[in-house]
Chain A
Amino acid sequence: MSLSARPSRPIEERIPVVLATGAAGRFGRFFVQSLHREHRVVAVDRRPVRGLPKDVTHVRTDLRLRPVEDLFRRYDVRAVVHLGIVHNPRASEEGYRFNVVGTQRLLELVAKHQVPKLVFLSSANIYGPHPDNSHFLTEDAPLLGADGFPNIRDLVAVDQLAQSFFYKQPGIETVLLRPVHIVGPRVKNAPSNYLRLERPWVISGFDPMIQLIHESDAVAALMRALAPGIRGVFNVVGPEAAPLSRVLQVLGRKTRSVPGPVARALLDRAFRFHATGFPAPEIRHIQFNCVVDGSLARRVLGFEPQYGLVETIRSVLGHRE
């Protein structure tokens, strides 16, 4: 008799696992490589995946589909780590539904099967770079990220879904992590791609403070969030903040200074004609501060970044340690 044909087995016979979504992404794969050293891992992603460790079970499915629930019946899921959020400014409609509906579905399953732990990877970007921001945003700051950048409203929505889970399911240890820009040799997100540009644009007369975190430090924070007893919302901050101009100086970049309105108009057109992957509202990130206070994570999670500032910046160049 095949495994899937059996009725739901008693929990004591099931294998304890940690279920990770979004495991086929560059960061997801890297995280799973750390995770599988300590836990049996079931990786869920709708994309095909290569290079996962052999003892990791990969299930290729969309979070919104039925096979996902079967995983909760088949295994003793001890924790769910939700990385499976699409950050694609182009896939707006579909991405919105995938993120919001997929997350909603996952939360329902976590509640139904009373998984003791849920770790959720959000982002500090949802506070939004804003000229009125206090210099250090704490976890209680308003989530204004979608203000002026409606395409990321789903990222704000899923963060809020996770927040409401705290009071809906007080028995489940929910951890919501909001890391600053994750960079490193593996990840290819907007901030690291920007730092890889040979001649990046900067906005004339603006030089905001930038916070980066090395991908290994971000993984370390996730691992700490899995520790029993930890719950709450945490900003996750790497080394100290630095002005954008100095970050680019470390990389030896020659910048092109473009006035704000011109940059916005040009980028808007370029993005529409698929000449660039950067949507115009992201200009705000190189214009205004979005600096967060990571002291809560330091106190409660005991998280300290291992990578220094220069090391973290240089990591985008791809020298693997």
Chain B
Amino acid sequence: MELIPRGRPSRRRRLARRLVSNDLRTRMARMTAELGELGVDPFGFDPETVKYAAVPLEVLYRHYFRVLTYGIENVPSGRALLVSNHSGQLPFDGMMIGAALVFDRDPPRVVRSMVEKFVPRLPFLSVFFARVGQVVGTPDNCRRLLERDEAILVFPEGARGISKTIDRRYQLERFGGGFMRLALETKTPIVPIGVVGAEEQSPAFYNIKPLAKLLHTPSFPVTPTFPLLGPLGLAPLPTRYRIYFGTPMTFDGDGDEEDAFIQERVEQVREAITALLERGLSEREGIFR
């Protein structure tokens, strides 16, 4: 094996290395990934980068949102589609589900989620997302990842879910059916997930749609702090997150059935998530507790 000259690590890297706790280091070492000669997988995922990204993530996870997870052992070791409700204007729910699998699952797992198509056009962000294992959400990418036995997080509500206003909290929007076709085609178990807490992190009471169209964003929410306080107003409130992982669901089929057949099964997943949300809402004693 040839040694690859990596040069002296930059000051930033050395600082980051000091910040990564030993516990995190050992957790990351137990994560398995099929990497090429230069330390990345074919999609550009680099566990080294994840290590550094995990430092601020852990702060958010443990101290800001003080996440409680239930049933994380329901996430299997092989391929899996994690299907969750989506809310909160900014995708902190996705980050926290990913964090739960790194910090609270044994062994830890990196979840690969599907990002919006415009992400590869963004400088810096495109590289960061790729290195931490996030892939552009095309059905082909999803299929390939499942065939590599990865865990994939999907939000079938998509932008409809994340940009909804506070009066519709915990009411699931319409679910897309693409994930079900892929699950059937690749014989992947579906793990329903209910996230409680994210729905109140950025309480939007209005969505200015023409402005969103103008800015090419999925929505333009008006919250008590945004746009009043500028971009800073987008910071979420420190609500307490509760993440419920339901028992895996498997369905029979080949993914090429008619829409009605697919929708029927999508509905079952939706109901499972609704049940998890109801459980979470009855168990919590307050938005911040």
Contact = CB atoms under 8 A, between A and B. Distances in A.
Interface of A: 131-132, 134-136, 203-207, 209, 239-243, 246-247, 249-250, 252, 259-260, 288-289, 291, 308-310
Contact of B123 (A260, A291, A308, A310): A260
Contact of A135 (B2, B6, B43): B43
A252 B42 contact: no
Question: Dominant SS at the B interface?
Answer: loop
Nearest to B123: A205
A291 B41 CA distance: 13
Given A249-B6, A310-B4, A240 B37 contact: yes
Interface stretch (B19-27, B134-142, B171-179, B180-188): B134-142
A23 B123 CA distance: 42
Interface in B4-59: 4-7, 36-40, 42-44, 46
Interface of B: 2, 4-7, 36-40, 42-44, 46, 117-118, 120-127, 130, 135-136, 138, 140-141, 144
A205 B127 contact: yes
Contact of B4 (A132, A239, A241, A250): A250
B136 A135 contact: yes
6 contacts: A136-B140, A239-B36, A240-B42, A241-B36, A250-B5, A289-B120
Contacts of A207: 127, 130
Given A134-B136, A135-B144, A241 B42 contact: yes
B141 A134 contact: yes
Question: Dominant SS at the A interface?
Answer: loop
B44 A252 contact: no
Nearest to A204: B123
Given A131-B118, A134-B140, A209-B42, 6 more contacts: A204-B123, A239-B37, A246-B40, A249-B6, A250-B38, A260-B123
Contacts of B118: 131
A246 B45 CA distance: 13
B41 to A, nearest CB: 8
Contacts of A252: 5, 7
B37 A308 contact: yes
Contacts of B40: 242-243, 246
A310 B37 CA distance: 7
B36 A135 contact: no
Given A134-B138, A243-B40, A309-B37, A249 B4 contact: yes
A206 B126 contact: yes
Nearest to B7: A249
B48 to A, nearest CB: 11
Contacts of A239: 36-37
